Structure 1
Amino acid sequence: MELTCSTPVTTLSNGLRVASADMTMPSTSLGLFIDTGSQYDAVPGTSHMLQHMAFKTSENFSHLKVVRAAELMGAQLSAVAGRESMVYQVDTLKESVPEAVELLADT
């Protein structure tokens, strides 16, 4: 069985691949997918720990600022660690994409 994907994927000059789909809905979902996971952990549990550290205090944001920014955007923040990948995701309204990208990039 062959699976096909109609979502366009663009590769930026720095090698980052961006998949995008233009939807008519007022909401959007931004995800950062990383090719790493528990099978690559040098120390067992590292991926799981990173999952729980997502969207917490960083160099630019305190945990309170992250939570407040998400609430003001009406956003849902999530992180998932799997065997072969990690996903950091922000679901929000389209007009909040710049702020959502900033939170996602900082995590």
Structure 2
Amino acid sequence: MRLYNNVATYRCAWCQALLRLNGGQWVVAAPYSPVSERRWAACMHKAADNGLKHAFDGDATLCELPEEEVEVYRHLWRPGRSSCDACARAAAVIDGRWPPAQRA
């Protein structure tokens, strides 16, 4: 749990939903967005020279590269030809974990 603008927030490790504490109950703080609509920041591994973009989620990539090993960009990540396969697979798994009722 972290404080963001003096509000308790929590990111679910299983589905990556961002929740905030509201009146003693956890509520979804950010609406669902499909992988194709770019949910994560783009980044690249500092030591690799392969041009692969990874999906960054706050303190690590979806393929578990720590923040210290990547350079995070201001644009958002999108799966495709130049994206990390492990990040794309993890994004698909995370996307599938969102309940259909929460996808509106």
Both proteins in one fold, TM over 0.5 = no
Q: Higher strand fraction: Structure 1 or Structure 2?
A: 2
TM score, norm. by length of structure 2: 0.28
Larger Rg: 1
Q: Report which structure shows greater RCO (CA 8 Å, sep ≥6).
A: 1
TM score, norm. by length of structure 1: 0.28
